[in-house]
Amino acid sequence: MPILHLRGVLLPDEVERDAWLLGDRLTFVRPSGEAETICQSGFVLPGLVDAHCHIGLSPSGHVTDVEGLAEQARRDRDAGALLLRDAGSPVDNTSVQRDPDLPRLVRAGRHIARPHRYIRHLGVEVEPDQLADEVACQAMRGDGWVKIAADWIDRTVGDLAPVWPRWALEQAVARAHELGARVAVHVFGEDALPDLIAAGVDSIEHGTGLTDDMLDAVAARGIAVVPTLINIDTFPAIAAQGEAKFPTYAAHMRALHETSRERIRAVWEAGIPVYVGSDAGGSLPHGLVRNEIASLVAAGLPAAEVIARASWLAREWLGRPGLVEGAEADLLVFDADPREDVGVLRYPRRIVLRGRVVA
């Protein structure tokens, strides 16, 4: 079995030390046999995490072939994202999990939506009295997560509106938790959030409607937020498309975009965990995790904390270790500390996945 050796400052411990990659595991105990040194200095970071992407979706539609799915995952890998949380996909993307050259993938099954209240042909569509049963079904298909579409435009009122009654959400979240799964919810606007928070969902995706009066409850329940700012930047274009038919909705989407940075800063300042997700696969291509990191920093979140939430803390959230004895050998090596300048993320000296140098 080939043995790789590296020396550098391991983050977040900030200790310069030697480490070895034996198979797909990291060890600090020098193994017997010759080792190939892949770096002798630098900053070593656990692989980045894209905590909201969609393997199997693309701006041009569904991707169903194995090579197409692999190409999406390769783009994420080559951007340094070595762990992906797929936040819902209409296709079977388990081939990515079987390919050792591709990032590790945590799946959420299919989106769960209500008829005529989400993107057509994307989710499994059910009525409120079927929601808990469908959550149970998708919990069995995924890897500990399910995804519910919780608000969308209601054409009868011409604006964003909640999709599910509170009783249905409470039943669905309770069922997921009984099965050991966590619940992620798509939500843009304000009105759906109180019931989602009360139901005890585990992560709020996008969350542009989070206002100050909701933050204490979000923090108290330990709910995480994945803001997907680079996707939120498509809101003005979405608004323009709907302007003629739904002017109230268009104005609302523009307002959500205009306040998005202010609101995510307030979320952060309230002590709520914020993770990095690109929302790749819908209107955006894959491989943009570094863009999302840069957007969060530009919004006023501290660079060092964003890096932590994009790397070792996100791994911990998803049940994966950082750079510890016996951990998965998925890491990045940089000449400079990316916590000082997130632009460094674009120039990795090494990308190591499963104990092998892939770039």
pTM over 0.75: yes
Q: Cα separation of 177 and 132, whole Å? A: 11
pLDDT above 80 for 347: yes
Burial class (CB in 10 A: 0-12, 13-18, 19+), 142: buried
pLDDT band at 1 (very low <50, low <70, confident <90, very high): confident
Q: Cα separation of 294 and 308, whole Å? A: 13
Domain 48-317 in CATH 3.10.400.10? The answer is no
Q: Cα separation of 303 and 301, whole Å? A: 6
Decide if 3-45+321-357 and 48-317 have a common fold.
no
pLDDT band at 2 (very low <50, low <70, confident <90, very high): confident
Contact between 338 and 42 under an 8 Å Cβ cutoff? The reply is no
Q: Cα separation of 188 and 162, whole Å? A: 10
Name the average pLDDT for the chain.
Answer: 97
State the pLDDT at residue 121.
87
- Give the type of residue at 101: D
pLDDT above 90 for 282: no
Angle (nearest 5°) at CA 162 between 181 and 129: 60
Q: How do residues 226-281 score in pLDDT, each as one tens digit?
A: 999 999 999 999 999 999 999 999 999 999 999 999 999 999 999 999 999 999 99
Q: Where are the domains of the chain?
A: 3-45+321-357, 48-317
Element (H, E) at 86: strand 81-86
Q: State the DSSP code for 30.
A: P
**Domain made up of 3-45+321-357: CATH architecture:** Roll (2.30)
What Rg value do the Cα atoms of the chain yield, rounded? 20
- Provide the sign of the torsion angle of the four alpha carbons 23, 27, 33, 35, taken in this order: positive
Q: How do residues 83-131 score in pLDDT, each as one tens digit?
A: 999 999 999 999 999 999 999 999 999 999 999 999 988 999 999 999 9
Q: Cα separation of 89 and 344, whole Å? A: 31
pLDDT above 90 for 61: no
